[in-house]
Structure 1
Amino acid sequence: MNKITQIFIIKALVLGNIMSLQGQTKEENSLLYEKLIPQYVSWAVSVDQAGIKIGEYLNEKELLLAKEVGVKFPEKVRIVYVDEVPFPYENEHLKQMGLSLGFIGKDIKNEAQAFGYSIYVRKDLNFTINKLAHELVHVMQIERSDSFFTYVIQYLNDLAKYGYSKSPLEIEAFQANKKYDGM
């Protein structure tokens, strides 16, 4: 799937829901989101690259877990402990997108997130093996996508269409939570 096709998919499923509260037309939203998705992906890739440089390597047990959940290159995975999982708050349009899709918000506390091979985790989170398994599934999903861009398109489409808890990518990750619970 090429980028133009991917953008049309995001338009069809997401654009009607996002930013319409600001009184913009769908045409204005369309033009905005043709710019926003690549901006978000570019930002997320830079977050991943930084995380790979500063993050902690997986230990032996974690490497085995990564292999078991299907990560092709578990040795590339890094865990970065932070006070707050990053989000591009400084970009007002990306902030609005994040609010409307439930990434961020008043009552939302993002505990962990995979940005490619780097997994950012809140320092105050009890990061158990089942939570790591969940994030490693996201790493595996990113690996099996054609590109990070393709993964983001699918993830956003799923959020817009199904919501977080019923998103197919999240359901797959939640299965890892259950499988490794209590380990």
Structure 2
Amino acid sequence: MNSQLIALLPQLVPLAAQWAAKQELRILQDGVPLSSVSLADARLIGVEFPERIRLLKIDAIPVPEDPILAQAAAVAELLTPATAGLTIRHGIFIRSDCWNDRRLIAHECAHTAQYERMGGIEQFLAQYLRECIEIGYPAAPMEQEAVEAENLIGE
């Protein structure tokens, strides 16, 4: 299945980017800015524009309505019922039961830094999805970078 997903990446990435851009807009409109502690964490992690970040508390991380995109996210284990946070550039969904989890927010801010470094949603997704499909979500280098960033801050 992973080889099929790799072959589909040129079609999946633009679909995923379109879905993600809509989700980011929602978060930026309805979300709240980072706390002063999270702003400091984001700066430490390397976010260039932490003041642009907005967090949106949500009961469950949304899954794309497009069946191909939803299936790809499930197969790559990117969006599961256990997903606690999802970053889309400067917009971050945080599951309501994880709302005050400083380490999770720091982890997600690390992904924001990656989006900034890579130049946008489509560029980030092309690399991130490829890594998650080829290597596996937990071992993907971009995901490991976010884990390392979350470990920079305390509890």
Normalising by structure 2, we get a TM-score of: 0.91
What are the Cα deviations for residues 41-71 of structure 1, in whole angstroms up to 9, with x where unaligned? Answer: 0110110011001101112222111111111
State whether structure 2 residue 134 is matched by structure 1 residue 165. no
- Write the distance in 2 (CA, Å) between the matches of 1:34 and 1:161: 14
2:77 aligned with 1:102? yes
Report the Cα distance in structure 2 between the residues aligned to 1:17 and 1:102, rounded to whole angstroms. Answer: 15
Q: Greater Rg, structure 1 or structure 2? A: 1
For residue 4 of structure 1, what is the aligned residue in structure 2?
A: none
Q: Which residue of 2 aligns with 1:174?
A: 147
Task: Look up the SS of the partner of 2:138 in the other structure.
Answer: coil
Task: State the Cα RMSD in Å.
Answer: 1.9
Distance 2:116 2:144 in 1: 17
> In the alignment, is the contact (CA less than 8 A) between 1:76 and 1:117 conserved in 2?
yes
Q: Which runs of 5+ in 1 are unaligned?
A: 1-13, 19-25
Equivalent position amino acid for 2:102 in 1: I
After the TM superposition, which segments of 4 or more aligned residues of structure 1 sit over 6 Å from their partners?
none
Q: Which amino acid aligns with 1:129?
A: R
- The code of the aligned residue for 2:19 comes to W
Q: Does the CA contact (< 8 Å) of 1:130 and 1:179 recur in 2?
A: no
Letter in 2 for 1:95: A
Instruction: Quote the residue 1:116 is aligned against.
Output: 89
Question: Which position in structure 1 is the counterpart of 2:48?
Answer: 72
Contact 1:17 1:160 in 2 (8 A): no
| Partner residue, 2:108 | 135
Tell me the number of residue pairs that the alignment of Structure 1 and Structure 2 aligns. 155
Point out which structure has higher relative CO (alpha carbons under 8 A, 6+ apart). Answer: 2
User: After the TM superposition, which residues 1-183 of structure 1 pair with which residues of structure 2 at under 5 Å, given as runs?
Assistant: 16-18=3-5, 30=8, 33-88=9-64, 90-105=65-80, 108-125=81-98, 127-182=100-155
2:3 corresponds to which letter in structure 1? G
Assess if the C-alpha contact under 8 Å between 1:70 and 1:137 holds in 2. Answer: yes
Deviation at 1:15, TM superposition (A): 6.1
